[in-house]
Structure 1
């Protein structure tokens, strides 16, 4: 009855199902890994955002890098802004609006901190300088989210030369530090508050969206693994249907032969 399973058509189906099972398994495993990674990242960022602020010199030093464990940690720094070395970062959006981030060094006794003071709208043309509110003068205490230096790898943004003076594409702290007359702490600080508050300032950036902690990846992992059951169940149903059809065909042929006799 089941000799049909050895025909060329059915052997091809067997091989297809056998190939789909490990493929679906490893796709589900990959999504599960993404779920674990994003859940860990979400938990880390949530904890850092909720932690009490600490002075930036307790977490790093000039020339160092920001470790993954300190990403989005709330830090403080006290010093004086250096508007002479202020830069603006092109092609940055806020609520779907295209504009610039404003990066101003804050010079402290321990070293300088690159502070992202917020977002300003673009100028009249792509190359026109935006209107940037001046930073507060005198001693300033800033509070903000510590971020690692931007690179092409962690942003997807390709750097290029030939930009208008004072404009950059990446907050690449080590590269920017080479053009500054003082040591610079690793990464940069995304401003959330400062004392004193100026009358006019760039628009502060919202906190990061930690999302569902990889919940979508978990759903995809379960989906791929369910496909294994669907593939095997579909194969079983097709085999049973083929066997039933052959049995019915043979029974009908037997009836026909007996009737002929």
Structure 2
């Protein structure tokens, strides 16, 4: 009755089903890991935002990589903004999803090292994507800043391609090593999203605090993939039974037709 399973069509169908089951199980675990990563990241962000600010140089140094545990950690530093070394980061959106720039200003510390400070978002100059935007000046003189410590941006993490040949003083990603080479100074690894001093008059729009409450739909997607994996053998079994039933019915019909007396 089940010899049809050895046919080319059913062998291919069975092999596809066997391949789908582990693939769907793996996709479910991938979504589970994304869920666990999101939960852990939310915890890190929440703890970092709730902690008291610490000196920036206690968590990073020239050429260093910002630890995952220090992501969004509030840090402080005292020094002077170097507006001459300021650049803008292209294709960044604000809370209203308007496209513009982030303003990246070197902040020279008392020991001569540089901390990169993302002062916030500014709009582009009309439809121009090449002209340097109008950027309000940073505070003059010695200033104490507070902000959220962030790691260097990469294409892998951000999905933004680091395009070359950009207009003068414009970059795609915030890279402390790249800025150290450009400035010819020691630049602390990572950068800071400014939170204080807050906006006063015509200043860049500060970057909003990250959402650390939502966990997304990754767990639901994981369960869905596992249900799909469980459904594959069930579906295969149903198709086999249906095919066997149809073939048996056809065989009975053929037998009945063969047993009928020939017409005179």
Match 2:146 to one of 134, 140, 143: 143
**Cα gap change, 1:112 to 1:13, in 2 (>3 Å):** closer
**Cα gap change, 1:232 to 1:160, in 2 (>3 Å):** closer
The question of whether the paired residues in 2 share the 8 Å contact of 1:121 and 1:130 is answered with yes
Q: Which residue of 2 aligns with 1:238?
A: 239
Q: Which residue of 2 aligns with 1:101?
A: 102
User: What's the CA shift for 1:188?
Assistant: 0.8
**Take 2:164 and 2:56, find their aligned partners in 1: how far apart are those partners?**
31
User: What's the CA shift for 1:182?
Assistant: 4.0
Alpha-carbon RMSD across the aligned residues, in angstroms, is: 2.7
**Cα gap change, 1:243 to 1:168, in 2 (>3 Å):** closer
The question of whether the paired residues in 1 share the 8 Å contact of 2:63 and 2:176 is answered with no
Runs of 5+ consecutive residues of structure 1 not aligned to the other structure: none
User: What's the CA shift for 1:118?
Assistant: 0.7
Q: Which residue of 1 aligns with 2:44?
A: 44
**Take 1:11 and 1:152, find their aligned partners in 2: how far apart are those partners?**
43
Find the residue that maps to 1:179 and give its secondary structure.
Answer: helix
**Cα gap change, 1:2 to 1:140, in 2 (>3 Å):** same
**Take 1:31 and 1:259, find their aligned partners in 2: how far apart are those partners?**
61
Q: Which residue of 1 aligns with 2:117?
A: 115
User: What's the CA shift for 1:219?
Assistant: 2.0
**Cα gap change, 1:119 to 1:8, in 2 (>3 Å):** closer
The question of whether the paired residues in 2 share the 8 Å contact of 1:115 and 1:188 is answered with yes
Structure-1-length-normalised TM-score: 0.84
**Take 2:130 and 2:11, find their aligned partners in 1: how far apart are those partners?**
64
2:22 is aligned with 1:22:
yes
User: What's the CA shift for 1:250?
Assistant: 5.9
**Take 2:162 and 2:258, find their aligned partners in 1: how far apart are those partners?**
82
Runs of 5+ consecutive residues of structure 2 not aligned to the other structure: none
User: What's the CA shift for 1:253?
Assistant: 7.0
Structure-2-length-normalised TM-score: 0.83
Match 1:178 to one of 143, 159, 181: 181
Match 1:188 to one of 188, 191, 201: 191
